[in-house]
Structure 1
């Protein structure tokens, strides 16, 4: 059995684990022998006795040696047999203050008191230890005399193969068939159990209660209700005051035992079963469900609903610190093993992130409001895009979860309203600046300059360049793509000014060679047509022919992104290509035709772009440039009053949801300027756009034609492509997928949770891995994917976990699918499969 000396030594090692210097103050000289156990080749111990000057010099010399240790593998422990100075004057005069400031100190707070450490060593004896301390501080020998193992309950310990009191009670509460049989065949353990339970929990088991199941049930009810009552800040409802529970002196062990039951994997299903049974028997939700504060522990499942109400109340009252604190506490909850609950708290955290993001940006604007168009661009580049990211992530999780009406839905509505109002206000201020100064910003890169500045130069240097034309790539999405792709490639993101109006036929033409020299928009047959150096480029065929002529037919090719992804070979057919245009309009098509699914499918669109970069790198391309015609705005719903009338009596050659080109008079709900004032040269008289986030068409949730930072500040992504590194056996990733502990199973819900584990014994493997978790049917069609949860990155859809960790991941199965499918954990970039799991559905839609 462990002794208090070993426990204290382990505790000191834990305290010093992430510190190179530890100072131990020990006026009682209790810890000297314990401190000596820390000394080793990597850890120098200096004991300070009467010769303080010599000891200080030795300590400072040792500290200097630590500074020269480039490996950071050595430590210094300083033992001082006196109390720690606390008042400022004593701290200044103390000769060892430099050592204290250089590292950690022990004891540090009430949790390091001798009493607290003894109770932590033997939580089951917390009450007895407190009584001992009331008569003076006990010796190590006296504390060790309280250790109860096989000597205190030899029969029960032997039958259950238990080590210590806590383990013995956990095993008794979670009996399996084998242990149940052993206990039924040997009645001699009952007296031992009565003694242990009375000593550690204060519960007197009835002498006449002999049925094993009834004993366990009684003990479960007493234990769980004791934890619930001890954690409850408010007064217990009158109907429950008569329910037996542990008194205060036993609370520490109650907390410790319940935490062990929730943490131990083998005990979790049994804990959940008895917790739900006890809550139902006592009617806890009926009696306590309306209480405002249930404490911080999660003894029973119904408490999650109460915590969610507490979160919502704080968020709706703008107490975001409290709301964030509740979310952080819930991330450790036993009950979020359930996929839906985990998703709800993930969504709650996303709401807080968005609300906090808007609050932070309001302070930024208050402290340093932009005074020019350039200032607004810098605001978006450095700050604003983060709120766009937070909004997008929240909507992705909300779309995945589709929460029912209730407290969480109320917070989502508040977050959406707050975000929209803020974005609308910023847009109006940005528009006012553009009306005053014009567009684009002098000295800033324009979309029209992209080819000549970012594509032509590396090509002329001899690099093979992939030039992506991405229809609707917002700045925040580009930053997300860069974060993912930078794990392999060299990536940078810069901002450029869009060519107005931000519609595809104009914006894509602006990405062509020489667009920065002479770009005009003329009116042909009543429609605006982009023109470069006198050449009309009304549509994709003309744009492709034009760039092909500039580069050279034998050096150029154009393909769809889907062709790169689907290619079976190593793109050998492109070996002659020096400049490759890769087109994709997936994002814009989704936004225009099916906006309800847009945000949920954005992670997949970004993964496709990253996969294409990887394939092109392996095919010999050295550089990639990703450019776009416009950004976009997307909202979950359309608010009343968002649609406005077009100016009356106008003669428009282009009518879009957000913009008009032609001749006409303004009204108070629009911005109307001379076309040349906003960079539109040619045969267009005026440029008109809706003020704020309004549209000229009712019911529009996705739009990109207007004048907002989200629509007009465009990203340019430069990528230095790097081929796949050669793999070695040492970096192989080993994962295990199971469902209810088995490598195959039958699911009865659309959102089951699967277990993923990564062995911790591979010291040469990665410390952290990320992967996609997707299910495919027999034809290879995707029918399931990881659902929102604390371990799922909503921006990429990837699951992240640490080496040696076991996690539960909820998956979402398509509603119309039934049958068998294979769940695969795979590398998001290469598609390498790490683990598979065969599942079969058994549910009715």
Structure 2
């Protein structure tokens, strides 16, 4: 319990052991808190309460306004040959020597009439190390009570000058106490009532070496300045700048305590610290002193430091010091001044730096590829520094920008990194296109798109699904593969060479049954299309008809139907089919729509949610084997400027696309390269004109998103295969997940929560997928996480059991009236705790 309680209990035990009965009159009610502790919320209304005093079983009764009622309750315990041990407490009552109704008990047992709280407290204070002089000061205030003395004793004599202060503050160490006083001006009145102001000043002087005036409000401002300036000075790296204000320097020993108090203020008294730090920063004009950002340390005492370092990070990116920028962004993740919005801006800088490093690593390998298409193909698809990582990093950066409420603050750096990506894309496209043209437009050793159905799909047992995703790039499938890793078995990703030109009527037809035997790109009646086994397939309707004729036990669904049909209806749709073809046009449709930021979010949602959810629903409906492939990839960068636009060629043009023109007798102009049908493996007399770099023809379509050409991004498509995991493979050990700090109402699209998990007797790290949902639709995810590992590709978080982590959510779709925060098992999509519904009321 505590020393005072233990001393009183020892006194009572001695009298109870010898006299069996104790009657205690307490006129000033000084010891009521003792009995509250002793009875521990037990009632004494209908009878006495049994309490253990060491080995004694004692019946305790408390006076409630009636002597006769208390006597009646006690009588069965003392009116016998060997009375029970009795303790009767009468708060607010004075012993009446001649008329007490409890006279018999008074005389039979031990009677307390003058037990003094201060006297007993003095004994306790001496026992824990306080000197007599300090004890005299502590016991001087008349307002000192039992609870105050308990708090004093909790200090155990530490610091000996903080005894009275412990009657005001619950903190047990001096630095925490000073921080608590600084943060709360309301404590000044309580300090005055306890005559503890002088003691506070002595404590501050002894702990941090500051001599302060007696007026507490003025002292608070001076001490804040003293603490913050000294911490700031101690954190500067190699700077000798003179800070105005004549703030004395703390000694070496005191400086350690200064830093501790400042840290306690930031961690436990956030708002008070912010207000004081901003006031000191403005008062001293710190942002105007010309301190170089490289001299700022790691603590971010003042707000201007975070801003200055952010600017420095942006400079590093603009000047191509990408590793320094990434190191700085990583080191600043825990800065005190990072609001969720500021975190997002720093996250963008980290993504820019990561993209820059990926481009540098990739460009260093390009010289050795020369004119070998297979070498370019391998470089783009294989290894830890594969070329497709650059495209992925750029996509992730652009997706993050599309979700921001504000424009990127590091706009010059952002503009330069995008220009660098444009140059990278141009260089890769020029090099690969030249190598491809020189070697007859073939990639030796690579699987061709026309062989996918016969070599991969047809051999699989029923039931199986072929998921055709229009415009899915290879690097996007790498992200999707990471999403599926913990959910499926036999997962494999292979790169495939798409049929040229890389447009939908060609690529989708190349994935049809029979394409391995006979495939052509042809023109009939002025319309371009593909021929599979002699059948002309110019559009979706023709391809669906051909599929049904080639594989009668098949059915065709679009992705939205798979996502929205009731489970029973979906199962009914596919029950009679051995092959289910699922078509997704979301990437191509949103990209061609010309709304760049919307397209980015659509693509992100497709990878993070829709395709995974479709796979799960199809598995639940009975599909066991899956194949996913694309018709072509795409370019998606900055909108093309006039210098990147090519005039349409002279000749007979059948179809014009941004990245290819199809016709006959086409004239090759500067910036273009031509391939005949025969060179591409077709027997028609068609010709195909492509930009030799990343440019586009002057024709209809979006200026940022386009396809049709022979670049790696357009020509290399993914082939992803897997087997559904059985129910027996999905058992999950019992796990408890707790969330703290959820807002009552979502008023900001970016908000922070704490998460903690425990998992079984042999606890292991736990992967979870935290997500914001609205009506079974993902509307937001975690953008940053602290004290845990977060996978950028999967948005999964790995939690260490028993270790609290912080998640920063971003509500990307702000239209729902309410959302749910869900923590999912990424293997099974089961909920690890009951989700809480949060109303959304965003303020602007």
TM-score by length of 1: 0.74
Measured in 1, the distance between the counterparts of 2:475 and 2:812 equals 29
2:322·2:357 contact (CA, 8 Å) conserved in 1? yes
| Alignment pair present for 1:395 and 2:398 | yes
Aligned to 2:616: 614
User: Alignment partner of 2:337: what SS?
Assistant: helix
Aligned equivalent of 1:455, options 454, 457, 470 = 457
Given the superposition, is the C-alpha separation of residues 745 and 540 from structure 1 closer, same or farther in structure 2, using an over 3 Å criterion?
closer
Alignment of 1:36-115 (within 5 A): none
User: Alignment partner of 1:591: what SS?
Assistant: helix
Aligned to 1:223: 227
Q: CA RMSD in A?
A: 2.9
Aligned to 2:513: 513
Aligned to 2:258: 254
Aligned to 1:605: 606
TM-fit CA distance, 1:608: 0.7
Aligned equivalent of 1:645, options 644, 647, 650 = 647
TM-fit CA distance, 1:194: 2.7
Measured in 2, the distance between the counterparts of 1:451 and 1:628 equals 12
User: Alignment partner of 1:507: what SS?
Assistant: helix
TM-fit CA distance, 1:430: 0.5
| Alignment pair present for 1:767 and 2:769 | no
Alignment of 1:443-842 (within 5 A): 443-459=445-461, 463-490=462-489, 491-552=491-552, 555-570=553-568, 571-573=570-572, 574-596=574-596, 597-606=598-607, 607-647=609-649, 649-663=650-664, 664-679=666-681, 681-697=682-698, 700-724=703-727, 730-736=733-739, 738-739=741-742, 744-745=744-745, 747=747, 750-760=748-758, 767-774=765-772, 776=774, 780=775, 785-786=780-781, 788-790=783-785, 795-796=793-794, 802-803=800-801, 804-812=803-811, 817=815, 820-827=817-824, 830=829, 832=831, 834-841=834-841
TM-fit CA distance, 1:512: 0.7
TM-fit CA distance, 1:765: 6.9
Given the superposition, is the C-alpha separation of residues 709 and 539 from structure 1 closer, same or farther in structure 2, using an over 3 Å criterion?
same
User: Alignment partner of 1:420: what SS?
Assistant: helix
Measured in 2, the distance between the counterparts of 1:820 and 1:801 equals 30
1:744·1:837 contact (CA, 8 Å) conserved in 2? no
1:223·1:245 contact (CA, 8 Å) conserved in 2? no
1:673·1:688 contact (CA, 8 Å) conserved in 2? yes
TM-fit CA distance, 1:667: 1.5
Aligned to 1:51: none
Runs of 4+ in 1 over 6 A off after TM superposition: 726-729
Alignment of 1:149-298 (within 5 A): 149=158, 151=160, 153-157=162-166, 159-175=168-184, 182-188=190-196, 190-206=197-213, 208-209=214-215, 211=216, 213-233=217-237, 235=239, 238=242, 240=244, 242-262=246-266, 264=267, 266-288=268-290, 293-298=295-300
Aligned to 1:346: 347
Residues 311-352 of structure 1, C-alpha deviations (whole Å, 9 max, x = no match): 12222222223212211111121122x111000111000000
Given the superposition, is the C-alpha separation of residues 690 and 714 from structure 1 closer, same or farther in structure 2, using an over 3 Å criterion?
same
2:767·2:796 contact (CA, 8 Å) conserved in 1? no
TM-fit CA distance, 1:399: 1.8
Given the superposition, is the C-alpha separation of residues 453 and 783 from structure 1 closer, same or farther in structure 2, using an over 3 Å criterion?
closer
Aligned to 2:359: 358
TM-fit CA distance, 1:380: 0.4
TM-fit CA distance, 1:595: 4.0
Residues 778-815 of structure 1, C-alpha deviations (whole Å, 9 max, x = no match): xx497953474456766456666554324252534656
Given the superposition, is the C-alpha separation of residues 842 and 381 from structure 1 closer, same or farther in structure 2, using an over 3 Å criterion?
closer
Measured in 2, the distance between the counterparts of 1:316 and 1:197 equals 47
Given the superposition, is the C-alpha separation of residues 730 and 721 from structure 1 closer, same or farther in structure 2, using an over 3 Å criterion?
closer
1:634·1:703 contact (CA, 8 Å) conserved in 2? yes
Given the superposition, is the C-alpha separation of residues 426 and 485 from structure 1 closer, same or farther in structure 2, using an over 3 Å criterion?
same
TM-fit CA distance, 1:542: 1.8
Measured in 2, the distance between the counterparts of 1:591 and 1:279 equals 47
Measured in 2, the distance between the counterparts of 1:693 and 1:531 equals 29
TM-fit CA distance, 1:598: 1.7
Q: Which moved more, 1:190-199 or 1:618-627?
A: 190-199
2:736·2:759 contact (CA, 8 Å) conserved in 1? no
Aligned equivalent of 1:312, options 305, 311, 314 = 314
Residues 559-606 of structure 1, C-alpha deviations (whole Å, 9 max, x = no match): 111111112225321233211101110111000113412222222101
Measured in 1, the distance between the counterparts of 2:842 and 2:458 equals 57
Alignment of 1:384-423 (within 5 A): 384-401=387-404, 403-404=406-407, 408-423=410-425
TM-fit CA distance, 1:546: 1.6
Given the superposition, is the C-alpha separation of residues 620 and 812 from structure 1 closer, same or farther in structure 2, using an over 3 Å criterion?
closer
1:618·1:723 contact (CA, 8 Å) conserved in 2? no
Measured in 2, the distance between the counterparts of 1:636 and 1:659 equals 19
Measured in 1, the distance between the counterparts of 2:348 and 2:419 equals 16
Measured in 2, the distance between the counterparts of 1:220 and 1:807 equals 29
TM-fit CA distance, 1:153: 2.6
1:276·1:301 contact (CA, 8 Å) conserved in 2? yes
Measured in 1, the distance between the counterparts of 2:809 and 2:328 equals 22
Measured in 1, the distance between the counterparts of 2:234 and 2:429 equals 52
Bigger radius of gyration, 1 or 2? 2
Aligned to 1:90: none
Residues 42-101 of structure 1, C-alpha deviations (whole Å, 9 max, x = no match): xxxxxxxxxxxxxxxxxxxxxxxxxxxxxxxxxxxxxxxxxxxxxxxxxxxxxxxxxxxx
TM-fit CA distance, 1:365: 2.5
Alignment of 1:429-440 (within 5 A): 429-440=431-442
TM-fit CA distance, 1:195: 3.2
User: Alignment partner of 2:737: what SS?
Assistant: coil
Given the superposition, is the C-alpha separation of residues 363 and 344 from structure 1 closer, same or farther in structure 2, using an over 3 Å criterion?
same
Measured in 2, the distance between the counterparts of 1:231 and 1:289 equals 12
Measured in 2, the distance between the counterparts of 1:215 and 1:673 equals 83
Given the superposition, is the C-alpha separation of residues 636 and 668 from structure 1 closer, same or farther in structure 2, using an over 3 Å criterion?
closer
User: Alignment partner of 1:548: what SS?
Assistant: helix
2:736·2:758 contact (CA, 8 Å) conserved in 1? no
Given the superposition, is the C-alpha separation of residues 517 and 488 from structure 1 closer, same or farther in structure 2, using an over 3 Å criterion?
same
Given the superposition, is the C-alpha separation of residues 371 and 682 from structure 1 closer, same or farther in structure 2, using an over 3 Å criterion?
closer
2:586·2:603 contact (CA, 8 Å) conserved in 1? no
Measured in 1, the distance between the counterparts of 2:278 and 2:727 equals 51
Given the superposition, is the C-alpha separation of residues 509 and 451 from structure 1 closer, same or farther in structure 2, using an over 3 Å criterion?
same
1:735·1:834 contact (CA, 8 Å) conserved in 2? no
TM-fit CA distance, 1:533: 1.4
2:567·2:621 contact (CA, 8 Å) conserved in 1? no
Measured in 2, the distance between the counterparts of 1:763 and 1:261 equals 37
Measured in 1, the distance between the counterparts of 2:260 and 2:430 equals 57
2:757·2:800 contact (CA, 8 Å) conserved in 1? no
1:732·1:765 contact (CA, 8 Å) conserved in 2? no
Measured in 2, the distance between the counterparts of 1:425 and 1:221 equals 56
Aligned to 1:325: 327
2:239·2:295 contact (CA, 8 Å) conserved in 1? no
Measured in 2, the distance between the counterparts of 1:504 and 1:587 equals 12
Aligned to 1:140: none
TM-fit CA distance, 1:531: 0.9
